[in-house]
Structure 1
Amino acid sequence: MSTPGEGYGQQNQPGQGQSYGEPAYGAGSGPNPPGWGDPATPTAKPRNGAGIASLILGILSILLCWLGFVGVLFGAGTAFGLGAIPVVLGLLAIILGIAGLRRARQGVASNRAVSIIGLVLGILGLIAAIAITLTAALASTVVQPNVQELQQCISNAQGDPVALQQCQQRFSGQFQNLQNGVPQGDGG
């Protein structure tokens, strides 16, 4: 029988179990357990701020590519003025996407996929913004004079039903010709 306090602070004798605080059999000064990184080695590569910025600007470029059309539709400035916003965003997304890819290739950044997605969205946003802005500008130069002429005809009619009917017939033919691709002077 043992007395209280026996075994505390004493060394293990052969055949006895392991005491508290001693490493287990086979354990020594090996690698740290999972989750306990060595302070001398970094656990992850630095993030790629250029790639993330490219992604955000590419998304904005896609979402805002309709500004050139909206500018013409609501008369909020010229098509080129509002259409320049998504074009600039697309260009910045392309530049930052390329910078992010370079950083990832050099091993300085970790999220190469984000840079690629930002680059692709920047290219798509740039192409869409240019196409929509040019289409809106072309449509405004072709349609706007006809709309102004129709407004002038209606104001000259001064509420006369016969004159209003003539305006309607005259300009419905012109707009129909525009829709069919016939030049204004041939159909009206």
Structure 2
Amino acid sequence: MSNLPPPSTPEPGPSYEPTSSNPPTAAWDQPTSSPSSAPIPPPPPGFSNDSGARNGAGTASLVLGILSIVTGLFVIGIVLGIVGLVLGIIGRKRAKRGEATNGGAALAGIITSIIGSLVSIAMIVFVVVLLSSGSFSSLVDCLDDAGDDPVAQDRCERDFEDDLFGG
């Protein structure tokens, strides 16, 4: 057999009762306070959520400029282009004053807004010229006369193209 002593049971220690003479020692033992009285520590360097940059105008200008190009075939493209141009100018001015950090995006927004506006204006001019030309009214009259006859409709189409493009 072995010469080891028999296992003993530990004796219970003193119970812990927080009192003013016995202060808490761990963080979870600290008394709670209201959130307004506890100071909030500053974020670590590089993690500030207040960078001071006001990049919204430049970013919005770029988004609106792209949308004005996409919707350039419709009248809404010119509206988006004008708003995008104004926001782009605001964004560039903020970047020059150091209030924004996305001067390049604002410039791209200005360029895309101008392109989108020009596409919209060109489409409006094209539609107005087309509708006011005698060729369009001749096409409408010819198609009315053609009815459901596909051969006559093709002839109307060829005549219209010849009128437009001088063929």
The verdict on a shared fold, with TM-score over 0.5 as the criterion, is: yes
1:114 is aligned to 2:95: no
> 1:36 & 1:114 partners in 2: Cα distance?
29
Rate the CA distance shift 1:123–1:169 in 2: closer, same or farther, 3 A.
closer
Q: How does 1:42-121 map to 2 (within 5 A)?
A: 44-67=51-74, 83=75, 85-121=76-112
Deviation at 1:47, TM superposition (A): 3.3
1:129 is aligned to 2:120: yes
Q: What is the number of residues matched between the two proteins?
A: 124
Q: How does 1:25-36 map to 2 (within 5 A)?
A: 36=44
Deviation at 1:172, TM superposition (A): 5.9
The alignment-based identity, stated in percent, is 29
Rate the CA distance shift 1:171–1:38 in 2: closer, same or farther, 3 A.
closer
Other structure's SS at 1:140 match: helix
- Bigger RCO of structures 1 and 2 (CA < 8 A, at least 6 apart): 1
2:139 to 127, 147, 155: 147
Amino acid at match of 1:136: V
Rate the CA distance shift 1:95–1:36 in 2: closer, same or farther, 3 A.
same
> 1:42 & 1:151 partners in 2: Cα distance?
65
Deviations, residues 149-174 of structure 1 (Å, cap 9, x unaligned): 1133124xxx8x8xx97x56974663
1:181 aligns to what? 166
Deviation at 1:134, TM superposition (A): 1.1
Q: Which runs of 5+ in 1 are unaligned?
A: 1-34, 68-82, 183-188
Rate the CA distance shift 1:106–1:42 in 2: closer, same or farther, 3 A.
farther
Q: Give the structure with the higher percent helix.
A: 1
1:37 aligns to what? 45
Larger Rg: 1 or 2?
2
Q: Which runs of 5+ in 2 are unaligned?
A: 1-42
CA RMSD of aligned residues (A): 3.3
